[in-house]
A and B are shown apart, each in its own frame.
Chain A
Amino acid sequence: MTKHVVGTVAEIPPGGRKLVDVAGRSIGIFNLGGEFFALRNRCPHQGGALCEGPLGSCISSAGPGHYEMSRGGEILRCPWHGWEFDVRTGQSWFDPKGVRVKNYEVAVVAGKNLKPPAPDLVPGPYVAETYPVSIEQNYLVVEL
């Protein structure tokens, strides 16, 4: 497992997302109200670029004529066939046990705490896992 710096906190506003390539995988990083989540950008159905799909609500019904919308902006729909996934967990909505997309933990780390790739580098603009890093900012780190 390697830690990869994938961006700055400031780069992805709430409701926003960023697609990154990490270790040969395309991954989508999402900001849901200040919390960060990462999903593999590959739909388990037929391989569509899932993380490029629209974000919407969870729509449920307690009976005929009832529609509830909840968790606005937290449900990702695949751009190809519209399969829905929970951004927080990677679980699908139609089959939460059987179908899920791989998700990754996203840690927020202050620049000064990021380990430089070589011990002799001094704090200041340096490179952590190919991402330019400075000590003043907070970074998003994914481990895989």
Chain B
Amino acid sequence: MSTASLTRLVDCDIHNTITAEALMPYLPKKWQEYHREFGRRQLPGDFYPKAMPFASRTDTWPPTGGPPGSDLNFLRRQLLDAWPIDIGVLNTLITIRNQEREYDAAMATAANACQIAEWLEPEPRLRASLLVPFEDAPLAVAEIARHGSDRRFVQVLIPSRTSLPLGQRKYWPVLGAAAERGLPIGLHFGGWAGGFPISGAGWPAYYLEYHTGMSQTFQAQLISLICEGVFEEFPDLKIVFIEAGLGWIAPLLWRLDRSWKHLRAETPRLRLKPSEYFRRHFWLTTQPIEEPPEPAQFTAMLEHLGMNDHLLFSSDYPHWDFDSPDHALPSILPAGVRQAIRHDNACALYGLKTN
């Protein structure tokens, strides 16, 4: 493995910010007025400012005055050009807030149009996740149909906190529409959760608890998607966990497999062990990567998971828990594995071609 090939890099989680002002020109007049008069719901129970203003590295505020992630030139300078990033996937966090349905849908449509015009057109290194009003299946399916053939949208974005577990049939039309077009579902840390605490045991007092506890939302989604038989219904469906962490997954699968053997008759539609569905249908981004005290423990963590070909490097720029491409993967990992995580796996999953 030459060092040159290790410079190839795909960043699977970049947050561009589309401010309300930037979004307005893409919203129909009626919804512009609605937005001005009634606005958007705040995310209930979210901590803010999440340790650092805008949850961002303090050095990511662009000199042009907008919030972190709002200025393409600055993002180029600080991320795309600072490392040899061939392709970066944008995950715009305009989460759908479960309000007036057509307003939610109009916001998603406007944000997608803005992403095309102001991010994807001017910067060929960028791809984007498609925003959809995922709590309303028909409207979400319509948005997928609108852009489903534009390969610059590489996946459909849904936050990890949905109002019901994602495996439930309410969401099946959305999952099916994505699978039909070969678009993975990118499930990203965060979101609106129908008002439920992030923890299964009530509201935490500290942001540290909240941030660490976010993996609980992914645990719930993993279990739901598998147990509901979603992958029997949609054998081509792919799910990408973005910012879920890695270390908790193998022990959860051990537990799920064990219980499934005892309780198999309750979910007879599952033909495979839960862990087999997971290893076939799920991909995982790396950031925020666990940092075990001993390098050997990191290797063991990946061995337990057994999914080196499904791991995707991500930086989470500009957020404060950003991972640097130079440091996220410990050097004890063989170069071939690092190359796969940094580049090859993402190309295979999203059908990307880098030069």
Residues of A within 8 A of B (CB): 45-49, 52-54, 77, 79-82
Contacts and interface: CB of A to CB of B under 8 A. Distances in A.
15 contacts: A46-B324, A46-B327, A46-B328, A47-B324, A47-B326, A47-B327, A48-B324, A49-B59, A53-B58, A79-B57, A80-B57, A80-B322, A81-B320, A82-B52, A82-B320
B321 to A, nearest CB: 6
B51 interface: yes
Contacts of A81: 57, 320-322
Contacts of B322: 80-81
Interface in B57-82: 57-59
B11 interface: no
A82 B53 CA distance: 12
A48 B323 contact: no
Nearest to B327: A46
Contacts of B52: 82
A100 to B, nearest CB: 17
Contact of A48 (B51, B57, B328): B57
Given A81-B322, A82-B51, A82-B320, A54 B58 contact: yes
Among B51, B59, B323, B326: residue with most chain A CB under 10 A? B59
Given A46-B324, A47-B327, A81-B57, 15 more contacts: A45-B327, A46-B323, A46-B328, A47-B324, A48-B57, A48-B324, A49-B59, A79-B57, A79-B59, A80-B57, A80-B59, A80-B322, A80-B324, A82-B51, A82-B320
Per CB-CB distance, the 5 closest pairs between chain A and chain B, nearest first, are A46-B327, A79-B58, A46-B324, A79-B59, A80-B57
B290 to A, nearest CB: 14
Question: Per DSSP, are chain B's interface residues mostly helix, strand or loop, or mixed?
Answer: loop
Contacts of B324: 46-48, 80
Contacts of B59: 48-49, 52, 79-80
How many B residues are at the interface, by size bracket? 10 to 19
Interface of B: 51-52, 57-59, 320-324, 326-328
Main secondary structure of the interface of A (DSSP, over half): loop
A82 B322 CA distance: 11
A46 B58 contact: no
B68 to A, nearest CB: 11
Contacts of B321: 81
B104 to A, nearest CB: 33
Contacts of A49: 59
A45 B324 CA distance: 10
A54 B323 CA distance: 20
A52 B52 CA distance: 15
Contacts of B57: 48, 79-81
A52 B61 CA distance: 13
Which of B51, B58, B323 has the most chain A CB atoms inside 10 A of its CB?
B58
B116 to A, nearest CB: 31
A80 B79 CA distance: 13
A93 B184 CA distance: 42
Nearest to B60: A79
A77 B320 CA distance: 12
B348 to A, nearest CB: 27
A52 B60 CA distance: 12
B57 to A, nearest CB: 5
A79 B328 CA distance: 17
B247 to A, nearest CB: 18
A34 B109 CA distance: 57
A49 B60 CA distance: 12
A33 B116 CA distance: 52
Contacts of B58: 52-54, 77, 79
Contacts of A80: 57, 59, 320, 322, 324
Contacts of A48: 57, 59, 324
A45 B58 CA distance: 16
B208 to A, nearest CB: 11
B326 A46 contact: yes
Contacts of B51: 82
A65 to B, nearest CB: 12
Contacts of A53: 58
A43 to B, nearest CB: 10
A141 B100 CA distance: 64
A91 B322 CA distance: 23
